[in-house]
């Protein structure tokens, strides 16, 4: 992959050549060349998708649902999402507020591209999901990173966000629960940021793909329940994590009707429509029995609790209690290079984690640990990690 960038033809768009090879890919590719690797690396749900969802996809295929849908999405799915979000957010969401996309990734791409232009600034939390900053830069925008408060479980201080706003700020990218920290922002944090952004005419791009993975019954605040109107918000999510449907690639964006109308045009020129049979799987997910979600959350919560215990038994790692998603982002001692540690840990013990600097500049001494794997695997991994770190 490094070769690809170095040998690229000069007629290529230079912005494309600035995209880094994601740190996750580097680690996972290396791991693929090794044997007996324990992955605490990727954010891929290991719990199977609910059987009624699989059935609906197969049914749709059998019924010949292999053509295009409307560009905005399958009307049945748009209606199901409108009902679902209307109930969850307590505000009126109609099918015209929604665009079905190829995973949350396409929705993020559309949102960031829609707002970007040379010189425009985006506020991005550091650390955050590694797609945001390259996408912004690829579109000529500039990234202003706002570090989380490591000492406060990676919470975001709204004042830090306000201090980063300049006359060129066009959007703030939020992601609660966060990848890579698992931090869930309290309602007051979201409300304060959303209100300030609306007052200044700044867009909020809110990536809510982990909105159901919330532990200990804490309150979860979607931007949709904190904004007075949809004029300055684009809320993005998908079935990938909540229904273990990552490979089915169905996501969406919720925004004002005007924004959706404009984004539909752009979507027509990028992916045209999302996968039709899998959109039927999405209808089944929303309209069917949702007890799957409670069981899934209970499973991830047990894993998180075990991980907290094991990190506490590792003196070189400073852990905390992540309240959502399926990640922890523990720190190594100050000055230790997380990238070297992640690489040596993989080479010498076969445990694959992801270095903190994959997610931003402020946490180069951190490791991202994913617990989208069984307790047995997490325990096996720590049987290797603890003696290795001691050495």
Residues near ligand PLP (CB under 6 A):
43, 103-105, 129, 175, 179, 207, 209, 238, 240, 246, 251
Shortest distance in whole angstroms from residue 130 CB to ligand PLP: 9
| For ligand PLP, the closer CB: 223 or 385 | 223
| For ligand PLP, the closer CB: 121 or 207 | 207
Shortest distance in whole angstroms from residue 9 CB to ligand PLP: 29
Identify the bridge partners of residue 340 per DSSP, sorted by sequence position: none
Q: What is the rounded CA–CA span in Å between residue 254 and residue 257?
A: 9
Do residues 355 and 339 make contact, with C-beta atoms less than 8 angstroms apart?
A: yes
Strands (E), the chain: 38-39, 98-102, 121-126, 142-147, 169-174, 203-207, 233-238, 250-254, 327-328, 351-352, 354-355, 367-370
**CB-side exposure of 203: number of CA atoms within 13 Å?**
23
Given the structure tokens 């990938």, which residue do they identify? 240
Shortest distance in whole angstroms from residue 246 CB to ligand PLP: 5
**And the tokens for 59?**
């049914």
| For ligand PLP, the closer CB: 323 or 349 | 323
Shortest distance in whole angstroms from residue 217 CB to ligand PLP: 22
Shortest distance in whole angstroms from residue 327 CB to ligand PLP: 9
Q: What is the rounded CA–CA span in Å between residue 275 and residue 286?
A: 17
| For ligand PLP, the closer CB: 105 or 256 | 105
Q: What is the rounded CA–CA span in Å between residue 339 and residue 353?
A: 10
Shortest distance in whole angstroms from residue 159 CB to ligand PLP: 24
In Å, what is the CA distance from 185 to each residue of 61, 109, 157, 158? Answer: 40, 23, 10, 10
In Å, what is the CA distance from 5 to each residue of 12, 17, 133, 154, 280? Answer: 10, 6, 18, 34, 39
| For ligand PLP, the closer CB: 127 or 385 | 127
Shortest distance in whole angstroms from residue 16 CB to ligand PLP: 20
| For ligand PLP, the closer CB: 139 or 349 | 139
In the 8-state DSSP scheme, what is residue 147?
E
Residue nearest to ligand PLP according to CB distances in the complex: 103
Do residues 281 and 248 make contact, with C-beta atoms less than 8 angstroms apart?
A: yes
| For ligand PLP, the closer CB: 129 or 382 | 129
């Amino acid at each position: 992959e490094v070769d690809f960038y170095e040998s690229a033809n000069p007629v290529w768009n230079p912005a494309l050549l600035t995209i880094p090879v994601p740190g996750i890919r580097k680690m996972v590719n290396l791991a693929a060349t090794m044997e007996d690797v324990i992955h605490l690396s990727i954010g891929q749900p290991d719990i199977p998708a609910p059987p009624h969802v699989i059935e609906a996809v197969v049914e749709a295929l059998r019924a010949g649902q292999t053509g295009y849908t409307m560009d905005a999405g399958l009307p049945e799915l748009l209606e199901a999402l409108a009902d679902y979000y209307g109930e969850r957010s307590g505000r009126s969401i109609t099918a015209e507020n929604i665009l079905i996309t190829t995973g949350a990734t396409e929705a993020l791409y559309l949102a960031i591209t829609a707002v970007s232009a040379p010189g425009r600034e985006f506020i991005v939390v550091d650390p955050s999901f590694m797609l945001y900053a390259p996408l912004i830069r690829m579109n000529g925008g500039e990234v202003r990173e706002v570090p989380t408060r490591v000492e406060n479980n990676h919470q975001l201080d709204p004042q830090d966000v306000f201090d980063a706003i300049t006359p060129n700020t066009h959007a703030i990218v939020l992601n609660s629960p966060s990848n890579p920290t698992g931090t869930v922002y309290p309602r007051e944090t979201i409300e304060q940021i959303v209100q300030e952004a609306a007052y200044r005419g700044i867009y909020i791009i809110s990536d809510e793909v982990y909105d159901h993975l919330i532990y200990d019954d804490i309150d979860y605040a979607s931007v949709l329940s904190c904004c007075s109107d949809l004029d300055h918000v684009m809320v993005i999510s998908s079935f990938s994590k909540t229904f273990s449907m990552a490979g089915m690639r169905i996501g969406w964006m919720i925004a004002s009707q005007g924004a959706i109308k404009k984004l539909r045009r752009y979507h027509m020129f990028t992916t045209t429509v999302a996968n039709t049979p899998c959109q039927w799987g999405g209808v089944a997910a929303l309209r069917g029995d949702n007890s799957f979600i409670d069981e899934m959350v209970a499973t991830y919560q047990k894993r998180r609790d075990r991980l907290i215990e094991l990190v506490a038994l590792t003196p070189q790692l400073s852990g905390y209690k992540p309240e959502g998603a399926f990640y922890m982002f523990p720190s190594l001692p100050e000055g230790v290079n997380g990238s070297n540690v992640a690489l040596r840990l993989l080479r010498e013990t076969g445990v694959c984690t992801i270095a903190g600097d994959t997610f931003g500049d402020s946490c180069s001494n951190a490791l991202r640990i994913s617990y989208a794997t069984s307790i047995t695997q997490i325990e096996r991994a720590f049987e290797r990690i603890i003696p290795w770190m001691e050495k």
